[in-house]
């Protein structure tokens, strides 16, 4: 066991878009594999054809690519030695294992109809018991443990529908060792005889999952906490199939919780609380309903991945910002917490802001230029780079740049009404006039020079500089807030600033008279 090459898998079912909890599972698998120099696989678990959703598989692949956490083998990423990686395509290989379990007496055929199962459920519930198909209830049902051998044979030969169920022992402790939770002990009386295989030749999740993990030589199963209740069953399957010595180690990851900590973060929370719970936008193929995604909201994939990594794991120090390579070298399952991780939408924005600031002005310019071109903006690249330097301090997202800094490229169309209401009066208007005239005469139009001239003009007109600072900003940008005022003035340049002051005087004077 010790000498096996580490191999882990992400095994989603294509039943809808991948939730961010699923992306985190994929990420932890990826980080663990890379750290150990092992392999990360993608397997599509599509045995439940009733829950199949068109487009879901392509979505999963695209989401992993966007995040930059690409498997080395798997659907959409190239075949390795264990192809195919879609369970529906592996269908022929499961029957033999169901038969092996039948032969060893660890599984049995059951022929109960839907109505018979329903009747049993009612009967058990009326008696105050659980309705599970288990060591007790199986004795009064139609299966190969209760029916005479020749009747079983005859039913099978006549092609009657059946399922194969695992025969859970009546009185046994099943122990699962979890790398995050330690020993988890479940009594077999709490377990039920789960269906493993159906007469249409399709395995259920449980059988397919175990067979695939075994045949794909998976060494560690890292998955969400919602699968912990299935783990004892999986342990028994490994035992009954004779694979205990190569059974993977389990690690069940903590749940992602709603921002208030009350319950699991659900698909519905996102749009209700105003943040995405999906990596990419998703359009439901049936209802056409659109759920928002981090990519479309303007998140950088590295910021998104960094944020996700810290939902349930922490580093040895207090560091919060990690590149993917740093995450790989820092990651360990020992520092994954048992307790659920509260999702914090504000912190998520903070991560993007940090990554925005980490990008160089040149990089951001490159990313922004397509939007500027689409708006028909004509500006020199050097000018855009300088505008970006000022704008990026104020935003969390690239897609806010235009609303934060369009005034670098066009004159304002309106002026912040609050500021105007509060600050525009005869004396401030007089000041703006004076300032415009002073600026016209200023030869060296730098931040430093314009600022001292601004102060001197305020003094000269007998108005407090603090009284007119924001008004001046509104006159040239339209906005009440923004980057360092005089740097903005320097970048806009003398002609533009003077022109804008003149325009403001005309427009605002007209409004007030």
Contact set with ligand GLU (CB under 6 A): 11-13, 45, 205, 209, 221, 223, 227
The nearest distance, CB 250 to ligand GLU, in angstroms, is: 9
DSSP conformational letter for 360: -
Task: Clarify whether 511 is annotated catalytic.
Answer: no
DSSP conformational letter for 291: E
Interatomic CA distance for residues 14 and 86, integer angstroms: 10
State the DSSP H helix or E strand holding residue 82, giving kind and residue range, or none if neither.
Answer: none
| Nearer residue to ligand GLU within complex by CB, 12 or 254 | 12
| Nearer residue to ligand GLU within complex by CB, 11 or 132 | 11
Interatomic CA distance for residues 19 and 9, integer angstroms: 17
Beta bridge partners of 163: 110, 198
The nearest distance, CB 51 to ligand GLU, in angstroms, is: 10
The nearest distance, CB 24 to ligand GLU, in angstroms, is: 12
Tokens, residue 266: 């659900």
The nearest distance, CB 13 to ligand GLU, in angstroms, is: 4
Tokens, residue 108: 């049995």
Q: What are phi and psi of 367, to 5 degrees?
A: -70, -30
Interatomic CA distance for residues 123 and 117, integer angstroms: 10
| Nearer residue to ligand GLU within complex by CB, 221 or 388 | 221
| Nearer residue to ligand GLU within complex by CB, 205 or 343 | 205
DSSP code per residue over 182-235: EEEEEEGGG----EEEETTS-B-HHHHHHHHHHHTT--EEEEEGGGGGGHHHHH
Interatomic CA distance for residues 91 and 86, integer angstroms: 9
Residue 82 CA to its chain's centroid (Å): 28
Report the alpha-carbon angle 80-228-105, nearest 5.
Answer: 80
The nearest distance, CB 209 to ligand GLU, in angstroms, is: 5
Spot the catalytic one: 65, 122, 267, 422: 267
Interatomic CA distance for residues 25 and 67, integer angstroms: 13
The nearest distance, CB 164 to ligand GLU, in angstroms, is: 20
Positions marked catalytic: 267
């Amino acid at each position: 066991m010790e000498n096996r090459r580490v191999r882990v898998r992400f095994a989603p079912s294509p039943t809808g878009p991948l939730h961010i909890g699923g992306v985190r599972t994929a990420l932890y698998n990826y980080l663990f594999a890379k750290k150990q120099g092992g392999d990360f696989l993608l397997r599509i678990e599509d045995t439940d054809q009733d829950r199949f959703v068109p487009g879901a598989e392509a979505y999963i692949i695209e989401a992993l690519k966007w995040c930059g956490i690409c498997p080395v083998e798997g659907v959409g990423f190239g075949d390795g030695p264990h192809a195919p990686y879609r369970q529906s395509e592996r269908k022929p290989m499961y029957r033999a294992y169901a038969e092996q379990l039948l032969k060893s007496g660890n599984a049995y055929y059951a022929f109960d109809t839907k109505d018979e199962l329903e009747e049993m459920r009612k009967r058990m519930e009326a008696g105050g018991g659980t309705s599970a198909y288990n060591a007790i209830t199986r004795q009064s049902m139609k299966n190969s443990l209760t029916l005479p051998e020749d009747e079983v044979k005859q039913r099978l030969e006549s092609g009657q529908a059946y399922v194969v169920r695992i025969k859970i022992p009546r009185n046994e402790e099943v122990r699962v060792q979890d790398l995050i939770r330690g020993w988890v002990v479940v009594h077999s009386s709490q377990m039920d005889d789960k269906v493993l295989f159906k007469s249409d030749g399709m395995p259920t999740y449980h059988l397919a999952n175990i067979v695939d993990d075994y045949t794909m030589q998976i060494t560690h199963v890292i998955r969400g906490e919602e699968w912990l209740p299935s783990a004892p069953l999986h342990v028994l399957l490994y035992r009954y199939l004779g694979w205990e010595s190569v059974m993977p180690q389990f690690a069940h990851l903590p749940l992602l919780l709603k921002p208030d900590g009350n319950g699991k973060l659900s698909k519905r929370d996102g749009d209700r609380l105003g943040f995405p719970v999906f990596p990419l936008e998703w359009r439901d193929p049936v209802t056409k309903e659109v759920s928002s995604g981090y990519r479309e909201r303007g998140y950088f994939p590295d910021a998104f991945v960094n944020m996700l990594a810290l939902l349930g794991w922490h580093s040895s120090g207090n560091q919060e910002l990690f590149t993917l390579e740093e995450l790989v070298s820092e990651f360990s399952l020992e520092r994954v917490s048992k307790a659920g991780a509260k999702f914090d939408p504000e912190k998520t924005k903070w991560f993007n802001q940090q990554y925005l600031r980490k990008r160089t002005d040149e990089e951001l310019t490159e990313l922004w230029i397509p939007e500027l071109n689409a708006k028909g903006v004509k500006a020199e690249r050097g000018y855009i780079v300088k505008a970006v330097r000022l704008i990026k301090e104020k935003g969390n997202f690239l897609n806010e740049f235009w609303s934060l800094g369009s005034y670098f490229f066009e004159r304002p169309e309106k002026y912040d009404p609050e500021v105007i209401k509060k600050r525009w009066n005869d004396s401030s208007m007089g000041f703006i006039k004076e300032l415009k005239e002073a600026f016209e005469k200023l030869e060296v139009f730098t931040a430093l020079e314009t600022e001292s001239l601004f102060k001197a003009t305020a003094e000269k007109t007998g108005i407090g500089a603090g009284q007119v600072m924001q008004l001046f900003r509104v006159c040239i940008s339209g906005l009440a807030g923004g980057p360092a005022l005089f740097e903005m003035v320097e970048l806009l340049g003398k002609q533009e600033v003077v022109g804008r002051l003149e325009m403001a005087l005309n427009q605002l004077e007209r409004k007030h008279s």
